[in-house]
Structure 1
């Protein structure tokens, strides 16, 4: 028998479907993926309070024949809200997050820890609906319940405000006809030897596969991996340069100059008061200041403790650092992210509006130079800092750092509070080093252009 999760896995990759049944020991989940699962479980528990007072159909930890019998019993007893309602039909078993009666008719709700409905959620709803209706229950509507991105936490989480839901009844109709054929095909996979499926885009979409490490070790994938590794690197010679545009940028934004970079974390269920689902919460910044082309840069930095809301302390220190000189020079950023974060600070902490608006007015995007005025073969399609740097500053490399990507910084920060004192000090050092290199690199790019 298939489960809903295995059906959806089969849609993604039949090899992953087979491995999930016969080689489950090959599963590998990153710490970030485990945190996503944990958040999903928490969201599911919170969502039950949206239709509170219901009964749980699960008898053990997993949906099984006992849960099916318990679901039938609850329906027969006239229960109007059932959590983890479990049904089986057409060789497939599903457990619905919430089955709730509205005006005497059953409505199905599947909970997702996202801010919107995604297409994979619609296919999820389709298999749920197919099994439930074939099991003999009439479903009036089926919806995806997700976070309301307009919800602002104030005190304890209010599930009735945190969640909203959207019917996908119409959208799922196109997926229903294919389901019987898919079920038959997926069950047939279980009767065969391990299928050969080469690695590709499906390994990452719509989510990263937990069997990626296993598949990358297989002989049939070595040639693909070697081709990826040996792809010729795009050239770093300048193929286009608008001298006038560069000079105008430098004339309008002279020394003294600052360079600013934020690192931020997102929490689906808002972690702090006055924050929203998946709002970017800056927890760290690096700031460089240089008086003139011949001066040594000065450096300032901030990093939260991983427990308390870092934003107000960050704002206070940032204002202080940016006003420590009388010259009030322009502030380099790379893209518009820092400006967006300052706009959010003003919304969430209006008492600092005057100072923050003044800082916003000083922001300038160095990225515009590499988007519009200077291009290499490598930077024609992307102007990310890590691609631009090898052209102008090959000696500055993230490869020597313990943390080499912004997302890695976020993951370290989210686990910061659980580290031992020694681990925490090491993590703090690595996080500060990564962010410091970002702002130093942007400042050095500016200096390179200037010189």
Structure 2
């Protein structure tokens, strides 16, 4: 059927209202220049999908409701269906639809309780945030303005203390925060905010410069457009402890790092500034040698991939957003000069991977090896969690933990620094700077979040070709994580021996 939804430039939704609170310019661009938006990343899309899934699951808190669909109906039909559901005595409506004062909105859950209608907004986070209250406030404004009295306005969020025991218990998984009093007190502000937004939308694009609001409370979809005038090596590129607040500098007209007074910088930022003028690696040789002297053979370069952003626990005994290891890569160098042996594990999707993961790791990891990781606390934390789950393996795990050495440490301490690190000590920054032939750039899976998304995407996937392709992408990515450490360690040794 043809879509007769309104394209009125002044019409808003609850999400656009929240965007307008963050930045009028962003709202104006959304309405007038949507083609300037940044491309939605894989991680952002996964966040949206997770939010949708959590919202659907929360409907089980009030089972038996009627759904007002979005895609199949025009705006007018959605509103009519909502009105009919209310008039016919339905107790629960999912995605109830209203329009008032130029705002079109859909409520996650509208429930008729003992004392009247109750509004529930569902979020996949684990607590109440100010921006969620703004979201509820505009909904209250539109619903009550449409003539429906609300007795209660609440936020439904994830209970981070929930532990899965069997099937998901939605009454335990979700927590409900009654925010009625706060939401009612915000109504005058809502009306004033809307008036200001409508006035702004009737004119030209507001002249609003970049600022902290560009990423608070959300990363703006127009950051690429609004920040395009900021050059490389700007004051926004200072990193680490002691860095100056870039916005006051920017507002004073100080854009480039080199124009900042050294008196305003910590020693890390001075190093970052000095490195910009040099084409070589800066090395604290004695400190790096001390680190290298603490390593022994066999060297075991280890990296884990874990689930990420899973507010609904996937496995027995896990809590919301628990990082469950499903993949590892291991490069073992038995002696200096010997070619590394590679071991890897990637769990089958759809089942708890922890037992098979641990058994495979213990089988392939030399008991007497020096285990080299990048940010070792991550791997150690996962191993401790596995030890708690499998008590019989705790002794072996505890012995392995004693053998960990963190390859990130010399880079975090700035004992080795290169201008192309840009102040970072992430392996994603260090690798291409030291070894230009190796990089994560262009890989279909190029970071841990994407690895989790890719693995979870295989759950229920029936296309064998897609499964094989995605598995190979995961194996390639995790393999590079440990190969990168092998190569970086080689560079570190060369830097200290050639200068001796």
Superposition TM-score, scaled by structure 1 size: 0.80
Whether the 8 Å CA contact 1:145–1:165 is kept in 2: the answer is yes
Residues 1:63 and 1:94: Cα distance change in structure 2 (over 3 Å): farther
Aligned to 1:127: 138
The alignment partner of 1:280 has SS state of coil
Q: Quick check: 27-36 or 407-416, which moved more?
A: 27-36
* Counterparts of 1:231 and 1:440, CA distance in 2: 35
Residues 1:284 and 1:67: Cα distance change in structure 2 (over 3 Å): same
Whether the 8 Å CA contact 1:10–1:17 is kept in 2: the answer is yes
Aligned to 2:101: 90
Pairs within 5 Å for 1:366-377: 366-372=407-413, 374-376=415-417
* Counterparts of 2:228 and 2:52, CA distance in 1: 37
Whether the 8 Å CA contact 2:418–2:433 is kept in 1: the answer is no
Q: CA deviation at 1:103?
A: 5.8
Superposed CA deviations along residues 407-436 of structure 1, whole A, max 9, x for unmatched, are 343343333464744444444333322222
Aligned to 1:256: 298
Pairs within 5 Å for 1:108-119: 108-119=119-130
1:361 and 2:372 equivalent?
A: no
* Counterparts of 1:73 and 1:203, CA distance in 2: 41
Query: Which ranges in structure 1 are unaligned for 5 or more consecutive residues?
Result: none
Q: CA deviation at 1:384?
A: 1.2
The alignment partner of 2:48 has SS state of helix
Q: CA deviation at 1:318?
A: 0.6
Q: CA deviation at 1:75?
A: 5.6
Q: CA deviation at 1:278?
A: 2.0
1:443 and 2:486 equivalent?
A: yes
Residues 1:22 and 1:333: Cα distance change in structure 2 (over 3 Å): same
Give 1:42's match in structure 2, choosing from 38, 47, 53. 53
* Counterparts of 2:125 and 2:397, CA distance in 1: 30
* Counterparts of 2:12 and 2:432, CA distance in 1: 50
Q: Quick check: 265-274 or 430-439, which moved more?
A: 265-274
Residues 1:166 and 1:377: Cα distance change in structure 2 (over 3 Å): farther
* Counterparts of 1:99 and 1:436, CA distance in 2: 49
Whether the 8 Å CA contact 1:47–1:111 is kept in 2: the answer is yes
Q: CA deviation at 1:104?
A: 2.3
Pairs within 5 Å for 1:159-174: 159-169=170-180
* Counterparts of 1:349 and 1:231, CA distance in 2: 53
1:329 and 2:369 equivalent?
A: yes
Whether the 8 Å CA contact 1:389–1:396 is kept in 2: the answer is yes
Whether the 8 Å CA contact 1:59–1:66 is kept in 2: the answer is no
Superposed CA deviations along residues 169-218 of structure 1, whole A, max 9, x for unmatched, are 56657854432232123334554467777777766554455567xx74xx
Superposed CA deviations along residues 349-369 of structure 1, whole A, max 9, x for unmatched, are 445333333332322222222
Aligned to 1:5: 15
Residues 1:70 and 1:402: Cα distance change in structure 2 (over 3 Å): closer
Superposed CA deviations along residues 79-109 of structure 1, whole A, max 9, x for unmatched, are 6544334444433343322234666255432
Aligned to 1:312: 355
Residues 1:353 and 1:24: Cα distance change in structure 2 (over 3 Å): same
Q: CA deviation at 1:54?
A: 4.2
Q: CA deviation at 1:111?
A: 0.2
Aligned to 2:110: 99
Aligned to 2:262: none
The alignment partner of 1:48 has SS state of helix
Residues 1:416 and 1:105: Cα distance change in structure 2 (over 3 Å): closer
* Counterparts of 2:157 and 2:145, CA distance in 1: 26
* Counterparts of 2:470 and 2:95, CA distance in 1: 40
Aligned to 1:270: 313
Q: CA deviation at 1:320?
A: 0.4
Whether the 8 Å CA contact 1:401–1:434 is kept in 2: the answer is yes
* Counterparts of 2:373 and 2:49, CA distance in 1: 34
Residues 1:61 and 1:192: Cα distance change in structure 2 (over 3 Å): farther
Q: Quick check: 340-349 or 190-199, which moved more?
A: 190-199
* Counterparts of 1:31 and 1:286, CA distance in 2: 23
Q: CA deviation at 1:50?
A: 1.2
Q: CA RMSD in A?
A: 3.9
Aligned to 1:397: 439
The alignment partner of 2:313 has SS state of coil
Whether the 8 Å CA contact 2:43–2:450 is kept in 1: the answer is no
Aligned residue pair count? 442
Q: CA deviation at 1:221?
A: 7.1
Aligned to 1:187: 198
* Counterparts of 1:66 and 1:396, CA distance in 2: 55
* Counterparts of 1:200 and 1:373, CA distance in 2: 29
Q: Quick check: 381-390 or 73-82, which moved more?
A: 73-82
Residues 1:384 and 1:221: Cα distance change in structure 2 (over 3 Å): closer
1:341 and 2:382 equivalent?
A: yes
Superposed CA deviations along residues 319-378 of structure 1, whole A, max 9, x for unmatched, are 10114xxx6122111111111221222334445333333332322222222223615364
* Counterparts of 2:206 and 2:331, CA distance in 1: 54
Whether the 8 Å CA contact 1:143–1:166 is kept in 2: the answer is yes
The alignment partner of 2:324 has SS state of strand
